[in-house]
Amino acid sequence: MAKIYINPLPVRIWHWINAAGFVVLIVTGLAIRYADLLQLISFATAVRVHNTVGFVLLANYFIWLGFYLFTDKITVYHPELDPRKYFRHSLRQMLYYGYGIFRGEPNPHHPSAYRKFNSLQSLTYQIVMILLLPIQFYTGLLLWDLERFRGSIELFGGVRVVATVHVLLFIFFTAFIFGHVYLASLSAKPFAHFKAMITGYEET
Amino acid sequence: MRVLALLLLAVAPAAAANPECLACHAGQHVKPELFAASVHGPLGCTGCHASVDLKKHPPASRKTGREYTLAAVEACKSCHQPIHEAYIASAHGKARESGAPVCSDCHKPHEVTRASVGTRLKETCLACHSGAVEAHDKWLPNTRRHLAVVACAACHAPAAKRKVDLRFYDAAGRNEVVGPHGELQPGKPLDEKALWALLRSAGAGGKVRLVGRVEVTSADQAHAMADRGQALKECTTCHRKGAEAFQTVTLSVVGPDGRRVYYDAQKEVLSSPFSVDSVRGFYVVGGTRMGALDLLLLVALAAGIAAPLGHLLLRRLLRRKDHGKDLH
């Protein structure tokens, strides 16, 4: 049984803080938006926890950003720079999840330390990490102090636009988590991806 | 000089500007130009000070300023009866002998402007309750925004009926501007389309915004201030769908005469996807949420759960079939 070191410590720390934070933000977000339907915790407590955890995740984001910006592991997102190959591999991965997997075909992607993600995964994570998550942090920050960020809110289109974008992304992330956990279970060895995010080593 | 003024006062018509009074009283308490511009200006001095006995004026023994303002509450009552009753029963009214504010402390009767115009009332509250911002900041998120858009009475007069009043502000959302007064007609409550059309005519190029304020629905309720401990502190009074404050919506404009005029609007304008832009300056988490987004959350949750489950089930079923084929 071969093992490869696939998830360095900073990535694992970032991932689990992020995972726990996401759950707390989703639960408190629901408690804030649906205080009339869900009496999980008081509205005031939910707001306080939501704000605090939001800032923790904002700081945590910079662990991820710093790690990939200042190490050669950034190549896991772009093992090669040929866009045609990149999209061909993404399509191949989609065909595998949509068809090949049911026929018992092997996963066309074989992870390694510098090719951790399949192309579809890499594309999705880049959209999430470089576009959607920063927008979620930014809109959350604006909503945290409406007077302090009055000018930015007006530039964004007003508080209702900011809140609507924040809620739309909240809906996306909530649905995304289910798919994320399920796809993580589709490893060659049972629970190999989960174990890899704890120990750093993936069994192949 | 004083004798001359008294003689003039004796013959002055009731609703005149009474320059003969101002001859002595102009100064610290009465500023002639401000009094002339105030809503009380047309009443003249005798409108409120009819009890002055000219034969004994000035009286031999004078009241202190505080005694005088306390007694003047009765003069206000003659015109503002419901407000007077609400005030007398309020925390302010009950403690008025102990220094709590009387009418003239907040409203400056000789330069009174309409209470609903401008931000002067909030500033008046904070002038006495100087620690209020810090006290709210200890427990109230977005304190400054709450204090900017929620009238003090909306929480501190807990029995009052609340509503949202939409107002035209400049592009920065800082100062109220004169709205499109002539284009508004009383009658059918304004809907999203009507608001949009109004905004377009009021300020081409996005120069005008609609900003919402949580207000109480009547002036007497605005004076029914309760003791501090009875003030509303439960966030979900407003931060929940169907909250009472969002069942009544008005749009108000300050006309050229300085009078605020209210027009009814449909309550749906606060939560409609079509007014995200036109009512861009008012949003209450949970309270004015869009139903379309709730539906989208349900669909996304259902899809997020059903897609992996369906995929898993299909994998199991097809694997079993393949396994069966292998056996044969």
The span from the first CA to the last CA of chain B, in angstroms, equals 125
Is the Cβ of A161 closer than 8 Å to some Cβ of chain B?
yes
CA B270 to chain A, closest CA, distance in angstroms equals 10
Decide if A33 and B318 are in contact by the 8 Å CB cutoff. Answer: no
CB contact A41 to B (< 8 Å): no
In the block, residue with structure tokens 């009950």: B94
| Nearest residue, CB atoms, B285 vs list A32, A104, A175 | A32
Q: B286, A47: Cβ pair inside 8 Å?
A: no
Report how far apart, in Å, the C-alpha atoms of B85 and of each of B66, B74, B76, B79 are: 20, 11, 11, 12
How many structural domains comprise chain A?
1
Backbone CA torsion sign across B84, B81, B118, B211: positive
ipTM, 2 dp: 0.92
Question: In this predicted model, what pLDDT tens digit does every residue of A35-48 receive, in sequence order?
Answer: 999 888 999 999 99
Contact residues, chain B, for A37 at CB < 8 Å: 241
CB contact under 8 A, B297 and A174: yes
Domain containing A102 — which CATH number? 1.20.950.20
> Please, which residues bridge with residue B265 across strands?
B190, B249
- The two three-digit tokens of residue A73, written as one number: 């592991």
Contacts of A38 in chain B (CB under 8 A): none
Tens-digit pLDDT string for chain B (328 aa): 444 444 444 434 434 457 778 888 887 678 888 888 788 888 888 888 887 777 777 776 767 777 878 888 888 888 899 999 999 999 999 998 888 888 888 887 787 766 665 566 788 889 899 999 999 999 999 999 999 899 999 999 999 999 999 998 887 777 888 777 666 777 789 999 888 888 887 765 567 888 899 999 988 899 999 998 899 999 999 999 999 999 999 999 887 777 788 899 999 999 999 888 888 889 999 999 999 999 999 999 999 999 999 999 999 888 766 554 433 3
| Spatial contact of A98 and A120, defined as CB atoms under 8 Å apart | no
Among B56, B83, B111, the domain boundary falls at B111
**A110-139 pLDDT, tens digit each:** 888 888 899 999 999 999 999 999 999 999
User: Chain A: residue nearest B298 by CA?
Assistant: A171
pLDDT at B39: 80
Domain match, B132 and B94 both: no
Q: What does the pLDDT read at residue B182?
A: 66
Please say whether the beta carbons of B43 and B15 come within 8 A.
yes
A90 part of contact set with chain B, CB < 8 Å: no
Q: Residues in chain B whose beta carbon is closer than 8 A to a beta carbon of chain A?
A: 139, 141-142, 144-145, 148, 171-173, 209, 235-236, 239-242, 276-277, 279-283, 285-286, 289-290, 293, 296-297, 300-301, 303-305, 307-308, 311-312, 314-315, 318-319, 322
Is there a single domain that holds both residue B207 and residue B88? no
Q: Do β-strands B162-170 and B249-254 pair in parallel, antiparallel, or remain unpaired?
A: parallel
Closest CB to B304 among A160, A167, A175: A175
**Opening angle at CA A105, ends A101 and A110, nearest 5:** 95
Residues in contact with B176: Cβ distance below 8 Å, sequence separation at least 6, in sequence order: B118, B167, B168, B169, B170, B211, B254
- In three-state form (DSSP H/G/I as H, E/B as E, the rest C), the secondary structure along chain B is CHHHHHHHHHHCCCCCCCHHHHHHHECCCECHHHHHHCCCHHHCHHHCCCCCCHHHCCCCCCCCHHHHHHHHHHHHHCCCHHHHHHHHHCHHHHCHHHCCCCHHHHHCHHHCCCCCCCCHHHHHHHHHCCCHHHHHHCCCCCHHHHHHHECHHHHHCCCCCEEEEEEEEECCCCCECCCCHHHCCCCCCECHHHHHHHHHHHCCCCCEEEEEEEEECCHHHHCCCCCHHHCCCCHHHCCCCCCHHHCCEEEEEECCCCCEEEEEECHHHHCCHHHCCCCCECCCCCCCCCHHHHHHHHHHHHHHHHHHHHHHHHHHHHHHHHHHHHHC
CB distance A132 to A169 below 8 Å: yes
- Tell me, what amino acid is at A94? M
Note whether B190 and B66 are same-domain residues.
no
Residue with tokens 């006309």: B255
Residues B263 and B320 occupy one common structural domain: no
Provide the residue range defining the domain that includes B327: 291-328
Cis before B58? omega within 30: yes
Q: Are residues B84 and B152 in the same domain?
A: no
DSSP structural state of residue A111: -
Nearest to A140 by CA among A25, A10, A36: A25
How many separate domains does chain B show?
A: 3
- Residue B269 shares a structural domain with residue B124: yes
Residues B170 and B208 in one domain: yes
User: Does the pLDDT at position A189 exceed 60?
Assistant: yes
Strand partners, B162: B216
- Given A47, A97, A163, which is nearest B283 (Cβ)? A163
SS3 A158: coil
**Which amino acid type is present at position A93?**
Q
What type of residue sits at position B151?
A
The verdict on a CB contact (< 8 Å) between A33 and B285 is: yes
Q: How far apart are CA B172 and CA A155, in angstroms?
A: 10
CA B40/CA B48 separation, integer angstroms: 9
- pLDDT the model gives residue B8: 40
Q: What is the pLDDT of residues B142-188, one digit of tens each?
A: 999 999 899 999 999 999 999 999 998 887 777 888 777 666 777 78
In A, minimum Cα distance to B237 occurs at A36
- Clarify whether residues B168 and B268 are in a common domain: yes
Contacts A182 to B, Cβ<8 Å: 307-308, 311-312
